[in-house]
Structure 1
Amino acid sequence: MASKTLKEFTRDEVAQHNKPNDLWIIVDSKVYDVTRFKDLHPGGASIFLEEDILGKDVTETFYGLHRHEVLVKPQYARLQIGTIKGETSQILAREPGSLSKVPYAEPTWLSEGYYSPYFNESHKRLQQAVRKFVDEVIYPDAQAREEDGKRPSQAVFDKLAEVELIAMRMGPGAHLKGRTLMGGIVKPEEFDYFHEMIVHQEFARIHARGYIDGIGGGSCIGLPPVLNFGNPELRDRITSEVLSGKKFICLGISEAFAGSDVQGLRTTATKTADGKHWIINGTKKWITNGTFSDYFTIGCKTEKGFTVILVERGEGVETKIIKTAYSTTAGTSYITFDNVKVPVENTLGKEGQGVYVMLSNFNHERWGMACSGAITQRLIVEECLKWTAQRKAFGKALNSQAVIRSKLAEMIAKVEAAQSWLENITFQMNNMSYKQQSDNLAGYVFPLNVFEDCMNSDETSYRSIGLLKMYITSSAQDTARDAVQIFGGRGITKTGMGRFIEHYHRTVPYDSILGGAEDVLGDLGVRQAIRNMPKNARL
Structure 2
Amino acid sequence: MELALKGGGFLLAEVTPDQVFVPEELNEDHLQLKTMAHNFVEKEIAPKIEKIEEQEDGLMKEFLHQAGELGLLGLEVPEEFGGSGMDKFSTVVVGEEVPRGASFAVSFAAHTGIGTLPIVYFGTPEQKAKYLPSLASGEKIAAYCLTEPGSGSDALGAKSTAVLNPEGTHYILNGTKQFITNAGFADIFLIYAKVDGKLTNFIVEREYPGVSFGPEEKKMGIKGSSTRQVILEDVKVPVENVVGEVGRGHVVAFNILNVGRFKLAAAAIGSAQLALEVSVKYAGERKQFGTPLSRFGAIQTKLAEVATQSYLAESVVYRTAGLMEEGFYGLDLTGDCRKEAGKALEEYAIECSLNKVLASEVLDLSVDEGVQIHGGYGFIQEYPIERMYRDSRINRLFEGTNEINRLLVPGTLLKRALTGELPLLAAAKAVSKDLLSGGLSSEGEGLAGLLQMTQKAKKVFLLAAGLATQNLGNELKDNQYVLLGLAEMVLQIYTMESGILRALKVQELNVSEEHKRFVEKAATLGAFEAMNVLEQQGKEVLCAVEKGDSLSTVLAGLRKLVRRPNVDMIELRQDIANAVIAKEKYPIR
What TM-score results when the alignment is normalised by the length of structure 1? Answer: 0.69
- 1:381 to 1:330, Cα distance in 2 relative to 1, 3 A: same
The answer for the alignment partner of 2:466 in structure 1 is none
Change (3 A) 1:247 1:456: closer
The structure carrying a bigger strand percent of its residues is 1
**Paired positions, count:** 400
Task: Say if 2:388 is the partner of 1:507.
Answer: no
Once residues 106 and 328 of structure 2 are traced to their aligned partners in structure 1, the CA distance between those partners, rounded to angstroms, is: 29
Offset at residue 491 of structure 1 (A): 0.7
| Equivalent AA in structure 2 for residue 315 of structure 1 | P
Partner of residue 20, structure 1:
none
Q: Give runs of aligned pairs for residues 403-482 of structure 1, distance below 5 A.
A: 403-433=298-328, 449-452=336-339, 461-482=348-369
The unaligned stretches of length 5 or more in structure 2 are 1-21, 436-589
Distance 1:299 1:178, change over 3 A: closer
3-state SS in 1 of match to 2:59: coil
Q: Report the CA distance shift for 1:365/1:348 in structure 2 as closer, same or farther (over 3 A).
A: same
SS in structure 1 at match of 2:409: helix
Corresponding residue for 2:117? 224
Q: Which amino acid aligns with 2:140?
A: K
Contact 2:122/2:252 (8 A) holds in 1: yes
Letter in 1 for 2:274: L
Residue 283 of structure 1: aligned partner: 176
1:45-81 per-residue CA deviation (whole Å, 9 max, x = no partner) reads xxxxxxxxxxxxxxxxxxxxxxxxxxxxxxxxxxxxx
SS at match of 2:349: coil
**Which is further off, 225-234 or 335-344?**
225-234
Letter in 2 for 1:428: L
Q: RMSD value over aligned CA atoms?
A: 2.6
Q: Which residue of 2 aligns with 1:22?
A: none
| 1:521 and 2:405 matched | yes
- Give 2:287's aligned residue: 392
What's the CA shift for 1:378?
0.8
Query: What code does the residue aligned with 2:127 have?
Result: L
Q: Which residue of 2 aligns with 1:338?
A: 233
Q: From 51, 68, 74, give the equivalent of 1:161.
A: 68
The 3 A distance-change label for structure 1 pair 454 and 377 is closer
**Which residue number in structure 1 is paired with residue 260 of structure 2?**
365
The alpha carbon displacement at 1:451 in A equals 3.3
| 1:352 equivalent in alignment to 2:240 | no
Is it true that 1:401 corresponds to 2:308 in the alignment? Answer: no
Identity %: 26
AA in 2 matched with 1:305: K
Change (3 A) 1:338 1:329: same
| CA distance in structure 1 between the partners assigned to 2:205 and 2:81 by the alignment | 27
Q: Are positions 1:248 and 2:133 aligned together?
A: no
Q: Shift of residue 157 of structure 1?
A: 3.3
Letter matched to residue 138 of structure 1: I
- What's the CA shift for 1:164? 1.5
One-letter amino acid matched to 2:29: S
Q: For each residue in 1:173-227, what CA deviation from the matched residue of structure 2 results, as whole angstroms up to 9, or x when unmatched? A: 52x3485x8xxxxxx46x3111111111111223x1x222234623431221123
1:316 is matched with which residue: 194, 198, 210? 210
Evaluate the alpha carbon distance shift between residue 525 and residue 298 of structure 1 in structure 2; reply closer, same or farther with a 3 A threshold. Answer: same
Q: Deviations over 1:101-127 (max 9, x none)?
A: xxxxxxxxxxxxxx9552111112222
The structure-2 alpha-carbon separation of the partners of 1:407 and 1:506, relative to structure 1 and needing over 3 Å to count, comes to same
Change (3 A) 1:455 1:235: closer
Match of 2:495 in 1: none
- Aligned partners of 1:216 and 1:289 also within 8 Å: no
* Structure 1 residues 399 and 202: CA distance shift in structure 2, 3 A: same
- 1:228/1:448 contact within 8 Å kept: no
Question: Cα deviation per residue 1:308-342 (whole Å; 9 max; x = unaligned)?
Answer: 01111232111122121124431111111011111
- 2:9 equivalent in structure 1: none
8 A contact 1:218–1:250 mirrored in 2:
yes
Once residues 348 and 204 of structure 1 are traced to their aligned partners in structure 2, the CA distance between those partners, rounded to angstroms, is 30
Q: Of the two, which has the highest radius of gyration?
A: 1
Shift of residue 505 of structure 1? 1.2
Taking the aligned partners of 1:402 and 1:231, their CA distance within structure 2 comes to: 58
CA distances 1:256-288 after superposition (whole Å, capped 9, x unpaired): 101142210000000111211111110000000
Contact 2:120 2:333 in 1 (8 A): no
Provide the residue aligned with 2:44 in structure 1: 137
Asked if the contact 2:173/2:234 (under 8 Å) is kept, the reply is yes
- Which letter does structure 2 place at the counterpart of 1:382? E
TM-score normalised by the chain length of structure 2: 0.63
| Alpha-carbon contact 1:228-1:445 (below 8 Å) kept | no
In structure 2, C-alpha distance between the alignment counterparts of 1:445 and 1:414, rounded to whole Å: 36
**8 Å CA contact 1:414, 1:475 repeated in 2:** yes
Q: Which residue type is aligned with residue 162 of structure 1?
A: E
Give the CA deviation at 1:290: 0.8
> 1:419 deviation in Å?
0.6
What is the Cα deviation at residue 434 of structure 1?
6.8
> What secondary structure, in the 3-state scheme, does the structure 2 residue paired with 1:290 have?
coil
8 Å CA contact retained: 1:227, 1:239:
yes
**1:139/1:456 Cα in 2 relative to 1: closer, same or farther (>3 Å)?**
closer
Superposition deviation, residue 456 in structure 1: 8.2
Which deviates more, 227-236 or 267-276? 227-236
User: 1:462 and 1:229 mapped to 2: Cα distance?
Assistant: 17
The answer to which of 513-522 and 324-333 deviates more is 324-333
Secondary structure of the 1:201 match is: helix
What does residue 57 of structure 1 align with?
A: none
| Matched-pair contact (CA < 8 Å) for 2:41–2:98 | yes
* SS of residue in 2 equivalent to 1:323: coil
Q: Which amino acid aligns with 1:307?
A: T
More helix by share: 2
Q: Contact between 1:150 and 1:329, CA under 8 Å: does it hold in 2?
A: no
1:116/1:140 Cα in 2 relative to 1: closer, same or farther (>3 Å)? Answer: closer
Distance 1:419 1:338 in 2: 44
Distance change (3 Å), C-alpha of 1:460 and 1:161: closer
Per-residue deviation, 1:153: 4.4
Looking at structure 2, the residues matched to 226 and 178 of structure 1 have their Cα atoms a distance apart, in angstroms, of 11
Q: How far apart are the structure 1 equivalents of 2:406 and 2:69?
A: 40
CA distance in 2, matches of 1:455, 1:494: 44
SS at match of 1:165: coil
| Shift, 1:418, TM fit | 0.6
Q: How far 1:400 moved relative to its partner?
A: 2.2
Q: Is the 8 A contact 1:361 1:445 kept in 2?
A: no
More divergent stretch after superposition (267-276 vs 151-160): 151-160
**What amino acid is the match of 1:406?**
T
User: SS at 2:224's partner residue?
Assistant: helix
SS in 1 for 2:25: coil
Structure 1 CA distance for aligned equivalents of residues 333 and 256 of structure 2: 8
Q: What is the DSSP-based 3-state SS (H/G/I as helix, E as strand, rest coil) of the residue aligned with 1:291?
A: coil
Query: Which structure's relative contact order is higher, taking Cα pairs within 8 Å and 6+ residues apart?
Result: 2
**Post-superposition shift, 1:447?**
7.8
Range 529-538 or range 304-313, more displaced: 529-538
Do the aligned partners of residues 493 and 415 (structure 1) sit closer, same or farther apart at CA in structure 2, a change above 3 Å counting? same
Q: Which of 343, 365, 381 does residue 276 from structure 2 map onto?
A: 381
- Given residue 491 of structure 1, which amino acid in structure 2 is its aligned partner? G
State the Cα deviation string for residues 452-484 of structure 1 (Å, max 9, x = none): 457789975532110121011122222222221
Q: Is the 8 A contact 2:276 2:306 kept in 1?
A: yes
Is the Cα contact below 8 Å between 1:229 and 1:447 reproduced in 2?
no
> SS state of the match for residue 463, structure 1?
helix
Classify 1:150/1:260 alpha carbon distance in 2 versus 1 (closer, same or farther; 3 Å).
farther
2:188 and 2:257 map into 1 onto residues whose CA distance is 18
Would you say the 8 A contact 2:169–2:239 is kept in 1? yes
What secondary structure does 1:318 align onto? Answer: strand
Residue from 175, 199, 202 that aligns with 2:94: 199
